[in-house]
Amino acid sequence: MWKNLKETILDAFWPKRCVNCNKLGQCLCADCFSLIDILREPSYEKFRHLDGLHAATAYNDKMVKSIIHLCKYNRLKELAPHLADLIIAHFKLLDNQTLLSSRLFSENQGCSDLIVCGVPMHRKKLKNRDFNQSEEIVRHFSEEFGLFFVPGLLLKTKTTRPQAELTKEERMENVLNAFEINPLFKQLVKDKEVLLIDDVFTTGATMEECAKILKQNRASRVWGAVVARG
């Protein structure tokens, strides 16, 4: 109730505007959302640890890139649900074409053994940014499909350099052994499928390292889903 009241007051004094066209209403309006090209295909390439990847859009889409940057670096947390909506739109376009999409839309709750989690952030970075955009995207995504979201399933225990500054080899080295499973959830992932969600997939070093940890803890399958692929 307090949250709604706070939002109503904030909306009255600082009404939301679309970050793309400045129209009053939402921070990303439906017209601008509809301009984004949603990918209709999952990736069938072979990964080291991931069993498959779903990318909702291409990172070279200027609007997508700008929304991700605003969410991440300008701390516009309210953009996270719109980023999740892009992944949801991608799965809707796929409908029943893939194992994962058919399970998400299955009417007899075929997702009870599917856990959803985000790519973790180091606690020092989280302190500076206030929120983990990846987990904010997962929160909205899991609500849409009624999935089991486990915040903090993975922990980032090593501080790393920003991946964007590095080459492919350096990125792999940078995130090597940077993640651990939260000891509280060690037993939880055993024999379960996990859907790991992040904002961007470039070389895949981060997602692969997270998938490696989940597999070491005996997750049966690890899928990846991202807002944009670079």
CA distance 125 to 147: 27
Please state the closest distance from residue 38 (CB atom) to Zn ion, in A. 17
Q: Which residues contact 82 (CB under 8 A, 6 or more apart)?
A: 26, 27, 28, 33, 67
Closer by beta carbon to Zn ion, 33 or else 59: 33
Name the segment binding Zn ion (CB under 5 A); options: 6-14, 16-24, 77-85, 141-149.
16-24
Contact status: 153 vs Zn ion (CB under 5 A): no
Please state the closest distance from residue 103 (CB atom) to Zn ion, in A. 33
C-alpha distances (whole Å) from 80 to each of 31, 87, 92, 167, 221 are 18, 11, 18, 28, 26
Residues binding Zn ion: what is the number (CB under 5 A)? 6
Binder of Zn ion out of 29, 53, 172, 219 (CB under 5 A): 29
Please state the closest distance from residue 20 (CB atom) to Zn ion, in A. 4
Burial of 24 (0-12, 13-18, 19+ CB in 10 A): exposed
Please state the closest distance from residue 82 (CB atom) to Zn ion, in A. 11
Contact status: 20 vs Zn ion (CB under 5 A): yes
Name the segment binding Zn ion (CB under 5 A); options: 3-11, 13-21, 137-145, 195-203.
13-21
Closer by beta carbon to Zn ion, 10 or else 21: 21
CA distance 211 to 179: 10
H-type helices in the chain, by residue range?
A: 2-13, 30-35, 62-72, 80-94, 99-104, 123-129, 133-145, 168-175, 205-216
Give the Cα-Cα-Cα angle 121, 54, 194 (nearest 5 degrees). Answer: 60
**Site residues for Zn ion, window 69-128 (CB under 5 A)?**
none
Binder of Zn ion out of 32, 58, 99, 188 (CB under 5 A): 32
Amino acid identity of residue 36, one-letter, is: I
Binder of Zn ion out of 7, 9, 10, 21 (CB under 5 A): 21
Contact status: 26 vs Zn ion (CB under 5 A): no
Closer by beta carbon to Zn ion, 28 or else 155: 28
CA distance 72 to 75: 5
Binding-site ranges for Zn ion (CB under 5 A) = 18, 20-21, 23, 29, 32
